[in-house]
Amino acid sequence: MVAEKGDASGNNCAPGNWQLNYGVPQYGRVYSISLEVDSVQEAEERVMKLAADSGAINQSGGGYGWNGAYGFGKGRSKSLSFSAEEAKAEVLARKIIAEGRLTQYNSNPNMQSSMYAETKKKSEMLDEELRLNMRALEKMPIASCILGELQERYNNFLRGYDKAKNKAGITVNLSEKAPERETPSRPDKKKIK
Protein backbone atom coordinates (compact mmCIF):
# COMPACT_ATOMS: atom_id res chain seq x y z
CA MET A 1 0.00 0.00 0.00
CA VAL A 2 1.33 3.43 -0.93
CA ALA A 3 0.55 6.09 1.66
CA GLU A 4 -0.71 9.42 0.42
CA LYS A 5 0.31 12.76 1.89
CA GLY A 6 -1.23 13.21 5.31
CA ASP A 7 -3.30 10.02 5.15
CA ALA A 8 -4.96 8.33 8.14
CA SER A 9 -1.82 6.30 8.90
CA GLY A 10 -0.06 9.53 9.89
CA ASN A 11 2.41 9.25 7.03
CA ASN A 12 3.57 12.71 6.00
CA CYS A 13 5.38 12.46 2.65
CA ALA A 14 7.21 15.45 1.21
CA PRO A 15 5.59 17.04 -1.85
CA GLY A 16 6.63 15.74 -5.23
CA ASN A 17 7.75 12.48 -6.75
CA TRP A 18 10.43 10.74 -4.66
CA GLN A 19 11.95 9.11 -7.74
CA LEU A 20 12.23 12.39 -9.66
CA ASN A 21 15.84 13.18 -10.58
CA TYR A 22 16.97 16.73 -11.10
CA GLY A 23 20.16 17.13 -13.11
CA VAL A 24 23.11 18.50 -11.19
CA PRO A 25 23.33 22.15 -12.24
CA GLN A 26 26.56 23.70 -13.52
CA TYR A 27 25.53 27.34 -13.27
CA GLY A 28 23.27 29.51 -11.18
CA ARG A 29 22.59 31.84 -14.11
CA VAL A 30 22.94 31.43 -17.86
CA TYR A 31 23.55 34.23 -20.37
CA SER A 32 23.04 33.82 -24.10
CA ILE A 33 24.28 36.58 -26.41
CA SER A 34 24.13 36.71 -30.22
CA LEU A 35 25.99 39.45 -32.05
CA GLU A 36 26.37 40.40 -35.67
CA VAL A 37 29.92 41.61 -36.29
CA ASP A 38 32.03 42.82 -39.21
CA SER A 39 34.73 40.20 -38.61
CA VAL A 40 34.15 37.09 -36.50
CA GLN A 41 37.88 36.57 -36.00
CA GLU A 42 38.48 40.13 -34.72
CA ALA A 43 35.37 40.06 -32.51
CA GLU A 44 36.42 36.69 -31.11
CA GLU A 45 39.82 38.10 -30.10
CA ARG A 46 38.19 41.06 -28.36
CA VAL A 47 35.62 38.87 -26.55
CA MET A 48 38.31 36.40 -25.46
CA LYS A 49 40.35 39.29 -24.01
CA LEU A 50 37.31 40.70 -22.16
CA ALA A 51 36.58 37.25 -20.72
CA ALA A 52 40.20 36.66 -19.67
CA ASP A 53 40.39 40.11 -18.05
CA SER A 54 37.26 39.32 -16.00
CA GLY A 55 38.64 35.96 -14.85
CA ALA A 56 36.15 33.91 -16.90
CA ILE A 57 37.19 30.43 -18.00
CA ASN A 58 37.00 29.60 -21.70
CA GLN A 59 34.83 26.52 -22.33
CA SER A 60 34.76 26.92 -26.13
CA GLY A 61 35.66 24.40 -28.78
CA GLY A 62 37.60 25.29 -31.92
CA GLY A 63 36.78 26.06 -35.52
CA TYR A 64 34.54 28.40 -37.40
CA GLY A 65 31.28 27.56 -39.12
CA TRP A 66 29.16 28.98 -41.86
CA ASN A 67 25.73 30.21 -40.80
CA GLY A 68 23.94 29.46 -44.04
CA ALA A 69 23.77 25.69 -43.58
CA TYR A 70 20.51 25.86 -41.64
CA GLY A 71 19.17 29.16 -42.88
CA PHE A 72 20.37 31.26 -39.93
CA GLY A 73 22.31 33.71 -42.06
CA LYS A 74 24.88 33.87 -44.80
CA GLY A 75 28.24 34.53 -43.14
CA ARG A 76 30.88 32.97 -41.00
CA SER A 77 30.02 32.24 -37.36
CA LYS A 78 31.61 31.22 -34.08
CA SER A 79 30.17 30.11 -30.75
CA LEU A 80 32.09 30.82 -27.56
CA SER A 81 31.33 29.59 -24.06
CA PHE A 82 32.64 30.80 -20.72
CA SER A 83 32.09 30.12 -17.06
CA ALA A 84 32.41 33.10 -14.75
CA GLU A 85 31.74 34.18 -11.21
CA GLU A 86 28.10 35.22 -10.94
CA ALA A 87 29.12 38.59 -9.46
CA LYS A 88 31.20 39.44 -12.57
CA ALA A 89 29.08 37.80 -15.27
CA GLU A 90 26.56 40.58 -15.88
CA VAL A 91 29.29 43.19 -16.29
CA LEU A 92 31.14 40.86 -18.69
CA ALA A 93 27.93 40.25 -20.66
CA ARG A 94 27.38 44.00 -21.07
CA LYS A 95 30.97 44.50 -22.28
CA ILE A 96 30.56 41.67 -24.79
CA ILE A 97 27.32 43.18 -26.09
CA ALA A 98 29.24 46.37 -26.94
CA GLU A 99 31.37 44.37 -29.42
CA GLY A 100 28.71 44.10 -32.13
CA ARG A 101 25.09 44.54 -33.11
CA LEU A 102 22.95 42.66 -30.60
CA THR A 103 20.55 40.22 -32.28
CA GLN A 104 19.56 38.18 -29.21
CA TYR A 105 20.08 38.34 -25.45
CA ASN A 106 18.78 36.22 -22.59
CA SER A 107 19.74 36.07 -18.94
CA ASN A 108 17.96 33.43 -16.91
CA PRO A 109 18.41 31.68 -13.62
CA ASN A 110 19.42 28.11 -14.38
CA MET A 111 18.01 26.67 -11.17
CA GLN A 112 14.81 26.95 -9.30
CA SER A 113 15.04 27.39 -5.57
CA SER A 114 11.90 25.25 -5.27
CA MET A 115 13.89 22.26 -6.60
CA TYR A 116 16.48 22.85 -3.91
CA ALA A 117 13.89 23.23 -1.15
CA GLU A 118 12.01 20.11 -2.28
CA THR A 119 15.20 18.02 -2.53
CA LYS A 120 16.52 19.26 0.81
CA LYS A 121 13.23 18.40 2.53
CA LYS A 122 13.18 14.93 0.97
CA SER A 123 16.82 14.37 1.95
CA GLU A 124 16.17 15.37 5.56
CA MET A 125 13.05 13.18 5.76
CA LEU A 126 14.86 10.22 4.25
CA ASP A 127 17.84 10.68 6.61
CA GLU A 128 15.45 10.60 9.57
CA GLU A 129 13.58 7.58 8.21
CA LEU A 130 16.82 5.67 7.64
CA ARG A 131 18.09 6.57 11.12
CA LEU A 132 14.87 5.47 12.82
CA ASN A 133 14.64 2.21 10.87
CA MET A 134 18.28 1.16 10.71
CA ARG A 135 17.67 -2.22 12.40
CA ALA A 136 14.72 -3.12 10.19
CA LEU A 137 16.74 -2.22 7.08
CA GLU A 138 19.50 -4.64 8.09
CA LYS A 139 17.01 -7.40 7.23
CA MET A 140 16.14 -5.72 3.89
CA PRO A 141 19.45 -5.20 2.03
CA ILE A 142 17.82 -4.41 -1.31
CA ALA A 143 15.50 -1.78 0.17
CA SER A 144 18.45 -0.38 2.10
CA CYS A 145 20.51 -0.17 -1.09
CA ILE A 146 17.69 1.53 -3.04
CA LEU A 147 17.12 4.09 -0.30
CA GLY A 148 20.87 4.71 -0.03
CA GLU A 149 21.11 5.34 -3.78
CA LEU A 150 18.13 7.70 -3.60
CA GLN A 151 19.76 9.59 -0.75
CA GLU A 152 23.02 9.85 -2.73
CA ARG A 153 21.13 11.35 -5.71
CA TYR A 154 19.59 13.95 -3.43
CA ASN A 155 22.97 14.76 -1.90
CA ASN A 156 24.63 15.05 -5.33
CA PHE A 157 21.99 17.56 -6.41
CA LEU A 158 22.33 19.58 -3.19
CA ARG A 159 26.15 19.67 -3.43
CA GLY A 160 25.97 20.60 -7.12
CA TYR A 161 23.46 23.36 -6.43
CA ASP A 162 25.66 24.80 -3.69
CA LYS A 163 28.71 24.77 -5.99
CA ALA A 164 26.84 26.21 -8.98
CA LYS A 165 24.84 29.00 -7.36
CA ASN A 166 27.72 31.49 -7.60
CA LYS A 167 28.73 30.57 -11.17
CA ALA A 168 27.35 31.76 -14.47
CA GLY A 169 27.55 30.30 -17.96
CA ILE A 170 27.91 32.70 -20.87
CA THR A 171 27.37 31.61 -24.47
CA VAL A 172 28.30 34.08 -27.20
CA ASN A 173 27.31 33.53 -30.82
CA LEU A 174 29.20 35.73 -33.26
CA SER A 175 28.12 35.93 -36.89
CA GLU A 176 29.09 38.09 -39.79
CA LYS A 177 27.21 38.87 -42.93
CA ALA A 178 28.59 37.33 -46.08
CA PRO A 179 29.63 39.83 -48.71
CA GLU A 180 26.70 40.67 -50.93
CA ARG A 181 26.91 38.94 -54.30
CA GLU A 182 25.34 40.17 -57.43
CA THR A 183 22.63 37.86 -58.62
CA PRO A 184 22.39 37.47 -62.34
CA SER A 185 19.19 38.98 -63.66
CA ARG A 186 16.81 37.01 -65.81
CA PRO A 187 17.23 37.58 -69.48
CA ASP A 188 14.55 39.58 -71.17
CA LYS A 189 12.19 37.17 -72.95
CA LYS A 190 11.89 39.49 -75.96
CA LYS A 191 15.62 39.28 -76.65
CA ILE A 192 15.66 35.47 -76.61
CA LYS A 193 14.84 33.95 -79.97
pTM value is 0.68
Q: Which domain holds residue 42?
A: 29-109+166-176
**pLDDT tens digits, one per residue of 161-190:** 998 989 999 999 999 876 665 555 655 656
Residues 69 and 136 reside in one and the same domain: no
Residues 86 and 172 reside in one and the same domain: yes
- Is the confidence at residue 191, as pLDDT, over 80? no
Are 105 and 33 in contact by the 8 Å Cβ rule? The answer is: yes
Residues 98 and 170 reside in one and the same domain: yes
Q: By percentage, how much of the chain surpasses pLDDT 90?
A: 55
**pLDDT tens digits, one per residue of 41-94:** 999 999 999 999 999 999 886 655 554 444 444 568 889 999 999 999 999 999
Are 157 and 68 in contact by the 8 Å Cβ rule? The answer is: no
Give the number of domains in the chain.
2
Whether 102 is in a domain gets the answer yes
Whether 23 is in a domain gets the answer no
Residues 75 and 144 reside in one and the same domain: no
Residues 158 and 172 reside in one and the same domain: no
Whether 98 is in a domain gets the answer yes
Whether 142 is in a domain gets the answer yes
Residues 101 and 139 reside in one and the same domain: no
Are 130 and 137 in contact by the 8 Å Cβ rule? The answer is: yes
Q: Average pLDDT in the 4-24 region?
A: 64
Residues 35 and 102 reside in one and the same domain: yes
Residues 81 and 135 reside in one and the same domain: no
Give 43 or 7, the one with higher predicted confidence. 43
- Is the confidence at residue 105, as pLDDT, over 50? yes
Give 10 or 98, the one with higher predicted confidence. 98
- For position 114, what pLDDT does the model report? 78
Please state, in angstroms and rounded to a whole number, the distance separating the CA atoms of residues 61 and 80.
Answer: 7
Residues 118 and 104 reside in one and the same domain: no
Please state, in angstroms and rounded to a whole number, the distance separating the CA atoms of residues 161 and 124.
Answer: 16
Are 36 and 173 in contact by the 8 Å Cβ rule? The answer is: no
Please state, in angstroms and rounded to a whole number, the distance separating the CA atoms of residues 3 and 58.
Answer: 49
**DSSP codes of every residue in 122-161:** HHHHHHHHHHHTHHHHHT-HHHHHHHHHHHHHHHHHHHHH
